[in-house]
Chains A and B, each alone.
Chain A
Amino acid sequence: MQFGIFTVGDVTTDPTNGTTPTEAERIKAMVTIALKAEEVGLDVFAMGEHHNPPFVPSSPTTMLGYVAAKTDRLILSTSTTLITTNDPVKIAEDYAMLQHLADGRVDLMMGRGNTGPVYPWFGQDIRNGIALAIENYALVHRLWREDVVDWEGNFRTPLQGFTSTPRPLDGVPPFVWHGSIRSPEIAEQAAYYGDGFFANNIFWPKEHFARLIELYRTRFAYYGHGTPDQAIVGLGGQVFMRKNSQDAVREFRPYFDKAPVYGNGPSLEDFTEQTPLTVGSPQQVIDRTLTFRESFGDYQRQLFLMDHAGLPLKTVLEQLDILGEEVVPVLRKEFAARRKPGVAEAPTHAARVAARDAALVAG
């Protein structure tokens, strides 16, 4: 099982002292956070893609390429890559390039994005969101698997005799997760391809995601990729920890109360009860995270949101220390002890190359 963090890349004023990082400070902070993730023994760093303030990460492969050069083990991923408004050809090229530079430590999560104007800014119509996700990914999938592609669709100019370069490393494309918070069509898409399904459950009650994940698992089996238990599931999480839970609540509350997404809404207490947000001791985070398995089955990747709502870099780095030293080692052990036999391993490039080679030998 893989553990990691995902960042939205928001530039938010620290509500406790009114300071706002510059874009330069935020971008460098994201890199520092990524390097820290590797240092404390996490497996994955994933970053969002946005094309509007107050978010800085419009260009994920640039940042991930830089992080790749400074790390050795960390898997670099996205949360999410906008499959709707990016040119699928450019996605295929950019992430294949990154895959080479990072020696295979790359996967990505496709998402539709939720900012209305981004669609027209990139020449698309939000009402085609699902259709764009389906058609564009179908093209990315082919570009990574077929050397020469002839293609015609509804949303971009046709291709005749096109070869996407560089070809995927070792002939094995980056693993793809499909992220969704509400669309069964996307769970169905992930199942069809045998790709991963990432349920970013951090803002919604679990019953909603239990249904989506169940659908994905059932359809994964239907399409012949394995048993429902072997489907590849990722989940979000959101935590803030201190040794004493009262200290965690006291320190996090002003950030929670003003957080861009849910601030000025429900109380911290209601929100922690209704969503996976956990504010408390490392042990509370361990206990809560282990319950995800009970709701959603054995899963392969757990990403935590740690750096948002104006939390200072110093605090985020402290949080990563606690996560890496006190939480994740216990979670690795406990999840492994509970895992049902036959459950899929988390996807890595090496394992995917080995599986491809084994399939070739088997004929």
Chain B
Amino acid sequence: MTVIAVVSAGLSQPSSTRLLADRLAEAAGRHLAGPAENTEIRVVELRGLAVDIANNLVTGFPSPALKEALETVERADGLIAVTPIFTASYSGLFKSFFDVLDNTALQGTPVLIAATGGTARHSLALEHALRPMFTYLRAVVVPTAVYAASEDWGATSGDGLASRVDRAAGELAALLSRTPPKRPAEEPLIPFEQQLAALRPFTTG
């Protein structure tokens, strides 16, 4: 069973960010080998967690609902992360969610990044903002990032949005098929003798 978490930071209802997220998730499922029931898509909508995310920034711990969302992302084999572009970058809500996520949670996890915006002029925000953020988190970001401007929703197929969605989803699926499934995270226990011994080598004498 391959689990893909989908994080959508769309704010309106209905949201084109969520629409893009759903299309990417559907395409990724299609590209993954084997029967469809072997892929599980778990969607995390950040809008309903906005206050909880802000509270976590203030108190340092997540509410039960936010904890569940963070664990969904942490345990997933792959991630599709979609944000609207606000003021030339990811939305603050999107960034804040990844700020409260443990900074090792996405280590080695294949991630597909995508964004929506009013015009295509902001598409490089994916490369300038999202990609470095996930690189910092040591995720493996697929080469194709998908940007959907308003006009893309009315474009003909061909080299339009549909083919970019398909290419990015194919890249994610290919990465996922080569990545071993995630095991439930366990806190590593370092025996105390080993902790003490680790201090010895860098003694300068």
Q: Are A185 and B190 in contact (CB under 8 A)?
A: yes
Verify A185–B60 contact, CB threshold 8 A. no
* A14: Cβ under 8 A from any B Cβ: no
Known contacts A154-B203, A215-B189; A188/B195 CB under 8 A:
yes
For A265, give its contact among B58, B190, B204 (CB under 8 Å): B58
Other than the given A188-B190, A274-B63, 6 more pairs (CB < 8 A) read A135-B199, A154-B199, A204-B61, A261-B59, A263-B58, A265-B59
Determine if A51 is an interface residue (Cβ-Cβ < 8 Å): no
Q: Which 4 residue pairs across A and B have the least CB separation, nearest first? A: A265-B58, A192-B192, A266-B55, A265-B55
Chain B residues whose CB sits within 8 angstroms of the CB of A205 once the complex forms: 61, 64
In the complex, what distance in Å separates the CA atom of A138 from the CA atom of B195? 11
Does B159 have its Cβ within 8 Å of any Cβ on chain A? no
Taking a contact as CB atoms under 8 Å apart, the answer to whether A188 and B58 are in contact is no
Which residues from chain A sit less than 8 Å from chain B, CB to CB? 130-131, 134-135, 138, 152-154, 184-185, 188-189, 191-192, 203-205, 208, 211, 215, 219, 223, 261-266, 270-271, 274-275
Asked if B191 is at the interface of the complex by the 8 Å CB criterion, the answer is yes
Q: When the two chains form their complex, are residues A153 and B63 in contact, meaning their CB atoms are under 8 A apart?
A: no
B134 shortest CB reach to chain A, Å: 23
B41 to chain A, nearest CB (A): 27
Cβ distance A289 to chain B, nearest Cβ, rounded Å: 20
List of B residues within 8 angstroms of A208 by Cβ: 61
Q: Please indicate which of the listed interface residues B187, B198, B205 has the most CB atoms of chain A within 10 Å of its own CB.
A: B187
Q: Which residue of B64, B192, B199, B202 is within 8 Å of A189 (Cβ)? A: B192
What's the nearest-Cβ distance from chain B to residue A349, in Å? 26
Interface CB pairs A-B, < 8 A, 10: A154-B202, A215-B187, A215-B189, A262-B58, A264-B58, A265-B55, A265-B58, A265-B59, A270-B63, A274-B63
Q: Known contacts being A184-B189, A188-B191, A189-B192, is A274 close to B199, with CB within 8 Å?
A: no
Give the distance in Å from the alpha carbon of A262 to the alpha carbon of B57 in the complex: 10
A-chain residues with CB within 8 Å of residue B64 when the two chains form the complex: 205, 274
Interfacial chain B residues near A265, Cβ < 8 Å: 54-55, 58-59
B55 to chain A minimum Cβ distance, whole angstroms, is 4
CB within 8 A of A153: which of B60, B192, B195, B199?
Answer: B199
Contact partners of B192 in chain A: CB under 8 A: 188-189, 191-192, 223
Q: In the complex, what residue of chain A is closest to B202 when comparing beta carbons? A: A154
State in angstroms the CA–CA spacing of A274 and B187 once bound together: 23
> A188-B195, A274-B63 in contact; A153/B58 too (CB < 8 A)?
no
Task: Please determine whether A203 and B61 come into contact, CB atoms closer than 8 angstroms.
Answer: yes
Is residue B196 within 8 Å, beta carbon to beta carbon, of the partner chain? yes
Q: How far is the CB of A182 from chain B (nearest CB, A)?
A: 9
Contact between B59 and A134 (Cβ–Cβ < 8 Å)?
no
- With CB as the reference atom, state the residue of chain A lying closest to B198: A131
User: Considering only CB atoms, which chain B residue lies closest to A215 in the complex?
Assistant: B189
Question: Closest residue of chain A to B205, judged by CB?
Answer: A152
A131–B58 CB distance below 8 A: no
Name the A residues within 8 Å of B205 (CB-CB): 152
What is the bound-complex CA distance between A266 and B187, given in angstroms? 28
- A184 vs B133: C-alpha distance when bound (angstroms): 28
**A219–B60 alpha-carbon span in the complex (Å):** 27
With a cutoff of 8 Å between Cβ atoms, the chain A residues found around residue B191 in the complex are 188
Residues of A within 8 A of B196 (CB): 134, 138
A167–B54 Cα distance when bound, in Å, is: 50
